[in-house]
Each structure stands twice: as C-alpha cells, then as structure tokens.
Chain A
Amino acid sequence: MNYVIIGNSAAAVGGIEGIRRVDREGLITIVGEEPYHVYGRPLISYLLEGKTDAERMKYRPGDFYEKNGCELKKGVAAVKIDAKKKTVALENGEVMPYGRLLIATGARPFVPRIRGLEKYEYHTFMTLGDALKLKAKTDAVKNAKVLIFGAGLIGLKCAEAIYKRVSEITVVDMADRVLPSILDAESSALIKAHLESRGIKFLLSADVSPDDFQFDILCVCTGVTPETAVAKDAGLEIGRGIFIDKNSRTGDPYIYAAGDCTESFSAVTGRRGVTPILPNAYIQGETAGINMAGGSAEYDGAMPMNAIGFFGKHILTAGIYEGEEIKRGSFAAASASDLSSVSACTLKKLFVKDGGLKGFIFIDDFKRAGIYTALVRERRDISGLDADALIENAGLNFYPKEFRDEVLKRRESRQGIYAGENLL
C-alpha cells in the first residue's frame, strides 16, 4: 500500500504514526505547503516571546520522517485530487498516485469584511512564516502601536507574543467579550481585566474600521476556516469542513480526512461541527492512519477542550456551559474593576445538568482537570456526588469502584508478597 498525506502538521503526524502502528513497510509521501519540518503550530506565539526556538518547537524530532519511512515534499501544495484515477496533482506539475489518501490541510485565517481594510497591509497569525514576518516588522518599527482585530484565542495569543516588542496594543472585536468561544461572561471579565492590567486596551462590541485608529502595525486574527479547496472536486461531502465519521473516513473509501479541515460529531453535543484544536487533529489523524493501513480504530467524537495561558494565568476549559453552575474562587464580578488585584484571582466553575457534568471553566485552579474532562467525555453519571465533593479536588473516587480497580489494581494473584513486608 502506498499512502499520500496532504498537509504536514498535527493531523498528518497522527496519520503517519497511525499507519506505522499497523504497516511498517508502505511508502508514505507527505505533501506540505509550508517549507518547514513539522512544528507545533500553537508554539508560534512562544517563539516570538523567546520561550521556545526553531529547534525546540519541532513537533517531532529531526529524524522523524526518515525513521518512519516517509518522503516529505515540503514547500509544495497539492492542487487537485482525482478520486477516480486515485491521483493527486501538485502545483509543480507532478501527479502522485495513492492507495490511500489523507487530507490534513488544516485551517486558514478567516478574514471578514472590515471596512477600509483593503487600504492597509496587514498580518495574520497562523503559521511560522506569519510569525517570522511579524517579528521582522516589530524589529523594524521601534515602539510600534499595534491594532489587532479579533479578541479570540489567536488574537490574544498574538497580543501576548508581541507584547514586549511593541509599545501599545489595542484589540477590537464585534463580540462583547474576550475569548467568546471558550469563556462565559464572568470568566471572560476576569481574563479581560487581567490583560488590561498589563496595559492592553480593548474595544469590544465594536463595528469599526482601521480608518478609525492610529497604528503602525495591523493584525487581523478574526478566526479560522477549514481549508477544503483541494477536496472540492473529489466528490466529498463538504459543509463548513470535510465531513468525516468516527473512523475519520470521508464518503470515498480511499480518502480519509482529519483535523482542522474537517467537520465531525462532537463528543459532547453529538452535533456536527468543526473542532479546531490540536488534540483533536492528532487523534483524528491517528485514527485515519490506523484505518488506512487496514487496522481498526474509532475515536469517541471531537472533544471541545482548551488549555491556554496569558501572562502567567492559565485557563483550562472543556465541554459546554449549560445547566446548574457550581463554583468557587476569589473572583467576583466586582473585582474586575480592581486591576491591581485581579491577576491573583482564581475561578473554578462546573456546569451540571441531568446528573452529568457538561463542561467547566478553570482559571488558575485546575489540579487534576483531566478527571473532569473524562466525566464530560464519557457522560458519566455523577448524581451520587454532591456539589461540595465535586468542586473539591478531583479524584478517582469520581469513578465507580470497578473502574478504579481496573485502572489501579493488579488482577492476577501476587505470590510471595504479603502486607507489611517492607516494614520488616
């Protein structure tokens, strides 16, 4: 079997590692538009902050492709899939036949219509190339004033990335709060105040044009959209993204897709949607790889979850925010106005409905958070736990005893060992 993967990021790596769990032999060719060894995309902000470097941000070691029997064609884009002939055409004219194909083309910046935008040169913040360009710009323009469109994850990560390199940052958004995709109003107020305490200015609920501002550098970070262009003519079902099932299959038996370019069932709501986060990309890619190579794998649905930090404050969230709120923490809405103390505030919020945990928001209070994630993903019955027990630090006591025993205990008998032996 020969395999072709379009895209060279987290979903592609999942694909390679999935294939190699089953098939050590078949040739894998990766076609990647970006001219780099695979890197952790979220790390581009850490790179500008000086918290990582080109070597350390590699998502897999330098010998990864070689060790896995892969040929990497980097710096070249795939332009067309011919599903009948089972070939992929590249922009350099090459035509590659495939036995199984994985589309892992990720997402592109989504730029809405912004009045007057066409008059300006602007930056996006998605790729290592984007980051290096922005770095060069902040080096060239001393004490720059920066205007960022978008108060979502990427806009705020962009702000943090360049914070020390520029003199002023203003973030504008149509939405009425920061990080609207992962925070509720209260937690969002906390994070906004925390960022304001660092001197970042916000203009929210704002329908504005760059013409209304004075700035030296303009960044547009208004969201992402699945990259599906190459899949268009392949006869696949495409909504917002390429539709895949829990085996990462498309409607074509020889074509799989994974990651930010796809639309799949949510583990929480059961509805179809795009879940553009790295763990999801890797897991869908790995699932695809195993199945492409003739193995059998299924993932439990796309799990909405995010761990992200800004200026030392850590936000961990998962699921959806529906139902009864259980919370603790030093943050009350009033302290949002006190910028001197807000950065020390914590918040831990759980959302419970119909005897199950639906989601949570943790800010700087996130010990053993993954146990809560598992309760959400596995839709476990938590009706036996009262609110106090649930909001206390999580433990394996949240799970049924049989499950705990399965995880922790040695099942076979242990001959020759008896209680108290170490004491003697």
Chain B
Amino acid sequence: MKKIYVQEEWCLKCRLCEYICAYANSGFKDIAAALKDKPINTRITVEESGRISYAVSCRHCDEPSCVKSCISGALEKVDGVVKIDKDKCVGCFTCVLACPYGAIAAGEDGAAMKCELCVENSGGSPMCVKYCPNRAIILE
C-alpha cells in the first residue's frame, strides 16, 4: 500500500495543501464556495518551527492507536487506509487523545475527521500530493 511521505526541506510553508484538503472534503465543486469566508477544515496541518516546515497528516499506522482506542468501533483500517464511519462516531474524541501525530481532529459536524487519502471524497487520490507545488508531499 502506498503511503504519504513529507520532505521537510522542500516544503515552502505555502499551506496550499491545507486549502486543497479542506476543499476536497467540503463537498463543493466550486473552490470559492468551499473556502471563502469559511473555517479551513483541513485534515493536513503545516507545522512551522523556525526555518523548518512540513505538512502532517495521518500516517495510516501499522498499529493505529486511534482504531484501538475508539469507543464506538467507528474507526477501521481497510486496505491500508484508516477510515472513519461518521454515522457510528459519537464525538468523544478519544481518538484525538490517542493519536501520537495529532492527525485526527474534531470536525464541524461533531464527529472526528481525519485524512482518508481522498478515497471517500471527490478527490479519489490524495489531492495534497497532486497540488503541492514543490512535491514536498509524495505518495509512494
């Protein structure tokens, strides 16, 4: 199964991946309708410390703490992708407390949200990878 990797020396801090992620998961076709004057609900976070920056999203762990900790069984790893069933999720955020990379967050709808490699949304394949202008995010 392919994984997302991040090369910190190539990241430009442009945060385009955050906007693209929010757009890809918004359900809107029009990017302005998705993002203008709205909170950017991104599942990927660009971290900056000093000169260094890098984008962090779910690692789809071999031993996923979030899946093991979920109180409702809403998280499951299927074919290498850790997925969330929002219908089952009750928004307790035990998964947020468990993920060592800070890759899962509270969504606007009250359920948890995380990167699902764009397999469930309009993207089909990771949009952050596709649109990173400097290929700092790769899928291999």
Contacts and interface: CB of A to CB of B under 8 A. Distances in A.
Given A43-B72, A282-B69, A394-B102, A421 B135 contact: yes
Interface stretch (A138-146, A231-239, A403-411): A403-411
Contact of B90 (A46, A306, A369, A397): A46
A370 B104 contact: yes
A158 interface: no
B140 A279 contact: no
A373 to B, nearest CB: 6
Given A369-B96, A408-B56, A419-B10, A52 B131 contact: no
Given A367-B102, A368-B105, A423-B134, A60 B73 contact: yes
B124 to A, nearest CB: 18
A395 B44 CA distance: 12
A282 B102 contact: no
Interface stretch (B1-9, B21-29, B30-38, B115-123): B1-9
Given A278-B94, A422-B135, A40 B73 contact: yes
Interface string A270-308: 000000001100110010000000000000000001111
A58 B138 contact: no
A6 interface: no
B97 A369 contact: yes
A101 B71 CA distance: 24
B133 interface: yes
A421 B129 CA distance: 12
B102 A368 contact: yes
B93 A316 contact: yes
A304 to B, nearest CB: 11
Contact of A52 (B6, B90, B100, B133): B90
Interface string A62-88: 000000000000000000000000000
Contacts of A422: 130-135
A409 B54 CA distance: 10
Most buried by B among A41, A283, A367, A395: A395
Interface residues of B, number: 45
Contacts of B41: none
A373 B5 contact: no
A307 B135 contact: no
Given A43-B71, A59-B72, A409 B5 contact: yes
B135 A395 contact: no
A42 B68 contact: no
Interface string A300-320: 000001111100001010100
Nearest to A366: B96
A56 B93 CA distance: 17
A255 to B, nearest CB: 23
A409 B3 CA distance: 10
A333 interface: no
Contact of B49 (A46, A397, A420): A397
Contacts of B7: 409-410
Contacts of A419: 10, 134-135
A396 B92 contact: no
Contacts of A307: 92-94, 96-97
A119 interface: no
A309 B92 contact: yes
A72 B15 CA distance: 50
Contacts of A166: none
A344 interface: no
Contact of A279 (B8, B94, B101): B94
A57 interface: yes
Contacts of A282: 68-69
A256 to B, nearest CB: 17
B99 interface: yes
A24 interface: no
A371 B131 contact: no
Nearest to A61: B73
A374 interface: yes
A353 interface: no
B93 A395 contact: no
Contacts of A407: 59, 101
A58 to B, nearest CB: 7
A15 to B, nearest CB: 13
B6 to A, nearest CB: 4
B83 to A, nearest CB: 13
A420 B135 contact: yes
Contacts of B127: none
A408 B73 contact: no
Given A43-B72, A52-B90, A370 B100 contact: yes
A113 interface: no
A8 to B, nearest CB: 14
16 contacts: A40-B71, A42-B92, A51-B90, A59-B73, A279-B98, A286-B68, A307-B94, A308-B92, A368-B45, A369-B96, A394-B102, A409-B7, A414-B138, A421-B135, A422-B132, A423-B133
Interface of B: 5-8, 10, 45, 47, 49, 52, 54, 56, 59, 65-66, 68-69, 71-73, 87-88, 90-102, 104-106, 130-135, 138, 140
Q: Which 5 A-B pairs have the closest CB atoms?
A: A368-B102, A279-B69, A410-B5, A374-B100, A370-B99
